[in-house]
Structure 1
Amino acid sequence: MTKHHIYWWNLENLFDVENSPRRSEFLNNHLGKELDGWNATILDQKIANLTAVISKFNDGKGPDLLGVCEVENEYVIELLIDAMSTALDKNYGYVISEGEDKRGIDTALIYDKTKYGPEQQTFSLRIIKRNTTRDLFQVHINTANGNKLVCVLNHWPSRSGGELESEPFRIMVAENLSYWIERIYEEQGDDANIILMGDFNDNPYNKSITAYLKAINNKALVKSNRVRLKYFYNVMHRFLDAQIGTFVFGNEYNLLDQFIISKSILSEKSESPFKLSTVEIIAYPELTSGSYQKPVKFGRPNSSTFNDKGYSDHLPIKIVLNEKDAVV
């Protein structure tokens, strides 16, 4: 049996340096003064802090797959991968979706090149409201046992302006994602192994997730062959009463970061190659503070909350999938 240790982490504003020649004029205009003081020294510190945590993943062996968001470009991802590869003595690769978000924060998937490959097939779906949303990013991971895991990375529209006021934007993305998932099933078959991961900016019980994405906490309904709709299983419901959240606002716990899996991964059929094993919110002591275990954010130098000993305003999450080994 092969174990796949899969992580997701919103890295909180992993930007290239201020006045970077790699940044478009469009993005420079929209970011304005947001990156004042974000120089090479600060960026290196942010990378070092993130790497120190990632190096503890999987009992010090590092992640097999790591989905991330709030990364600006390939340059910062390559800095992170170089640091990870050195610290863990591994050979990591990545795929990234560089979209047209006006803050320049994109999604990427980092993978262990000795475990997956050689090439990962990718697709991006860009959703338009008044402004372009962040891409939905689909990556096909090929395992050494010859199985395919379809990963869809998400970073849904934020709650800025108010949770209810911004909710229609997340519902719109959920509807588009549901349509896209139908196309995945048409192409890959009804037994496609799909894992949705990301910062959904809604909780597992919000209607964008339950009513529109059809990601629920009812295993029997997800596994049922009697329903027309293809439901997904949201593995994060188990943490709703755990007094911990991936994002804490005031004294409110939120589970904005989620793993959501398809019927085939939840199935108990012997022919299903992947099986759900464990799920975890990563809350190392250095990552949290206070009675609410609020994530220790890094912030930006031009902010009163800047902390060069911090990490991110979100906690990482982890899922382990067991895969049947190929018969030889």
Structure 2
Amino acid sequence: MAKHHIYWWNLENLFDIENSPRRSEFLNKHLGRELNGWNATILEQKITNLTAVISKFNNGEGPDILGVCEVENEHVIQLLIDAMSASLNKNYGFVISEGDDKRGIDTALIYDKTKYGPEQQTFSLRIIKRNTTRDLFQVHINTALGNKLICILNHWPSRSGGELSSEPFRIMVAENLSYWIERIYEEQGDDANIILMGDFNENPYNKSITEYLMAINNKALVKSNRVRLKYFYNVMHRFLDAQIGTFVFGNEYNMLDQFMISKSILSEKSELPFKLSTAEIIAFPELTSGSYQKPVKFGRPNSSTFNVKGFSDHLPIKIVLNEKDVIV
């Protein structure tokens, strides 16, 4: 039996350096002075801090799969996986979806090239509101045992301007994602192994998640063959009363970062390869501060919250899947 240690982490503004030749004029215009002081030394320190934490994942073995968001481009992801590979003595690869988001922050998936591959199949769905949203990014991961995991990376519209006033944008993304998932089932079959991961900017109980994406806390309903709808099981519900959140605003815990899994991964059918084993919020002592275990953010040099010893304003999350030697 193989184990897959899968993580998600919003890396908080992992930008290329200010005045980077790799940045478009469009992004330079929209970012303005946001990156003042974000030089090669600061970027290197951010990479060092992130790598120090990632290298502790999986009891020092590192992640098998790591989904991330708030990364600007291939250059910064390459810097990160070079540092990870050196620290962990592994060979990591990545795929990234570079969209038209006006802040230039995208999603990417990092994976251990010795465990998966050789090539991953990717698809992106770009959703338009008044401006282009961040892409939904679908990656097909092929395991060494010959099975397929379909990972969909998410970074939904933010709550800026207010949770309720911005909620329709997240509902719109949820509806589009639900339609996209239906097409995946049509192409891959009802037993497709799908993992949704991301910063949804919603809590597990918000209606964009429960009513539109149909990701719920009812295992029996997810596994039922009597319902037409294809529900997802939201793994993060179990942490809602744990006095910890992946993002803390003021004195309020939020579970904005989530894993959701398809019926096949919950199913008890012996012929299906993947089973959920464990789930976790990663809260190493250096990652949090204060009585609310607020994530220790890195920030930016032009911000009053800049902390060269920080990491991110979100905590990482993890699931472990067991895989039987069964090919479907």
TM class, shorter-chain normalised? over 0.9
- Separation of aligned partners in 1, 2:41 and 2:140: 35
Question: Which residue number in structure 1 is paired with residue 59 of structure 2?
Answer: 59
Once the two structures are superposed, residues 21-52 of structure 1 have per-residue CA deviations (whole angstroms, 9 ceiling, x without a partner) of 00000000000000000000000000000000
- Separation of aligned partners in 2, 1:232 and 1:49: 34
- Separation of aligned partners in 1, 2:98 and 2:80: 16
Matching residue's letter, 1:13? N
Question: Which residue number in structure 2 is paired with residue 27 of structure 1?
Answer: 27
Contact kept, 8 Å, 2:152 with 2:194, in 1: the verdict is yes
Matching residue's letter, 2:106? D
Unaligned runs of 5+ in 1: none
With the length of structure 2 as denominator, give the TM-score of the two structures: 0.99
Residue 99 (structure 2) pairs with residue 99 (structure 1): yes
Matching residue's letter, 2:2? T
Unaligned runs of 5+ in 2: none
Aligned length: 327
Residue 43 (structure 2) pairs with residue 43 (structure 1): yes
- Separation of aligned partners in 2, 1:233 and 1:176: 18
Q: Secondary structure at the match of 1:33?
A: coil
Matching residue's letter, 2:122? T
Once the two structures are superposed, residues 231-269 of structure 1 have per-residue CA deviations (whole angstroms, 9 ceiling, x without a partner) of 000000000000000000000000000000000000011
Q: Secondary structure at the match of 1:34?
A: coil
- Separation of aligned partners in 2, 1:273 and 1:287: 34
- Separation of aligned partners in 2, 1:299 and 1:145: 41
Once the two structures are superposed, residues 131-161 of structure 1 have per-residue CA deviations (whole angstroms, 9 ceiling, x without a partner) of 0000000000000000000000000000000
Question: Which residue number in structure 1 is paired with residue 11 of structure 2?
Answer: 11
Cα shift at 1:325: 2.1
- Separation of aligned partners in 2, 1:72 and 1:254: 25
- Separation of aligned partners in 1, 2:241 and 2:86: 38
Matching residue's letter, 1:114? T
Question: Which residue number in structure 2 is paired with residue 315 of structure 1?
Answer: 315
Question: Which residue number in structure 2 is paired with residue 175 of structure 1?
Answer: 175
Once the two structures are superposed, residues 115-135 of structure 1 have per-residue CA deviations (whole angstroms, 9 ceiling, x without a partner) of 000000000000000000000
Question: Which residue number in structure 2 is paired with residue 185 of structure 1?
Answer: 185
Question: Which residue number in structure 1 is paired with residue 146 of structure 2?
Answer: 146
Question: Which residue number in structure 2 is paired with residue 108 of structure 1?
Answer: 108
Residue 158 (structure 2) pairs with residue 158 (structure 1): yes
Question: Which residue number in structure 2 is paired with residue 201 of structure 1?
Answer: 201
Q: Map 1:201-240 onto structure 2 (within 5 A).
A: 201-240=201-240
Contact kept, 8 Å, 2:195 with 2:260, in 1: the verdict is yes
Matched-pair identity in %: 90
Residue 286 (structure 2) pairs with residue 260 (structure 1): no
What value does the CA root-mean-square deviation take over the aligned residues? Answer: 0.6
Cα shift at 1:326: 4.8
Q: Secondary structure at the match of 1:79?
A: helix
Cα shift at 1:272: 1.0
